[in-house]
Amino acid sequence: MAVQESERSDVFERVGTHYWAVRRASWAIRRLWLDTQLFDVANVPDHGPVILAANHLSFIDSPLMMFGLDRKVSVLGKAEYLHRTSTRWLFPAAGMIPVDRSGKGLVESLRCAENLLANGEIVGIFPEGTRSRSGELYKGRSGVAHLALKSGAPIVPVGIIGSDGVQSPDSIRPRFRGRVELRFGSPIDMGPWVDRPRNAETKAEITEQVMASIASLSGQTRRDAYASARSDTMMHPSYG
């Protein structure tokens, strides 16, 4: 069941409203479930707007980014999670910004992210657009560059390692106490592009630098194709 048009604005208003409560309530479960190691966290500015751009291997990548830092983090995630009654309220309240991968409501999703950045918060995004089922790093979509150019926020690349070993892309059964690493790279400032036209060429250049940085952190082999939500042979709509 799709999220109705009349419900969308209410969903975006709920993003992050119960972030700290969900974080506290889930602390014990997360500690028991995962052995999470963070590296070079100092690369994330301790104040002001920041965009975290990470590779995507598993469902758990979102909560890893959302709750890994001392700062509040909201993450763009697929709107299909809102189709379930059990998650329709919880996920946005915890900090998920829903993105309909058919393209419907994309403007609202990006506007929500832009508003959070304008308020000096952190927004996480997976430039590949969906989980990698091959373990390779697929081409990034331009949403990360759009947000960075619009907000002026630096992009901090993140390499996530091991999350697919804890829960593979299509599995509903996680493995407990698996080790996961989050490696934070040097911030990519928008200074070199501030006077450039905000066109497809500029966004492609920024996106390429982001993906190259992610690859160096995650150690993944890069693939010159866009990832698919279901298989390597099908293209899914871009939200970038």
With beta carbons less than 8 A apart as the criterion, state whether 155 and 205 touch: no
SS3 label, residue 116: helix
With beta carbons less than 8 A apart as the criterion, state whether 157 and 214 touch: yes
In this structure, the number of other CB atoms found within 10 A of the CB of residue 162 comes to: 17
φ, ψ for residue 56, nearest 5 deg: -135, 110
What whole-number distance in Å separates Cα of residue 194 and Cα of residue 19?
Answer: 32
Tokens of 200: 């497809």
Which pLDDT belongs to residue 20? 96
Which pLDDT belongs to residue 183? 98
> Per this entry, what is the length of the chain?
240
Which pLDDT belongs to residue 230? 52
What tens-digit pLDDT sequence spans the chain (240 residues)?
Answer: 444 554 556 888 999 899 999 999 999 888 888 889 999 999 999 999 999 999 999 989 999 999 999 999 999 998 887 777 778 889 999 999 999 866 667 889 999 999 999 999 999 999 999 999 999 999 999 999 999 999 999 999 999 999 999 888 877 777 777 899 999 999 999 999 999 999 999 999 999 999 999 999 999 999 999 998 653 322 233 333
Which pLDDT belongs to residue 46? 96
Which pLDDT belongs to residue 7? 55
The contacts of residue 220 (CB under 8 Å, 6+ apart) are 55, 132, 135, 136, 137, 214
Which pLDDT belongs to residue 239? 37
What whole-number distance in Å separates Cα of residue 20 and Cα of residue 198?
Answer: 35
Which pLDDT belongs to residue 231? 37
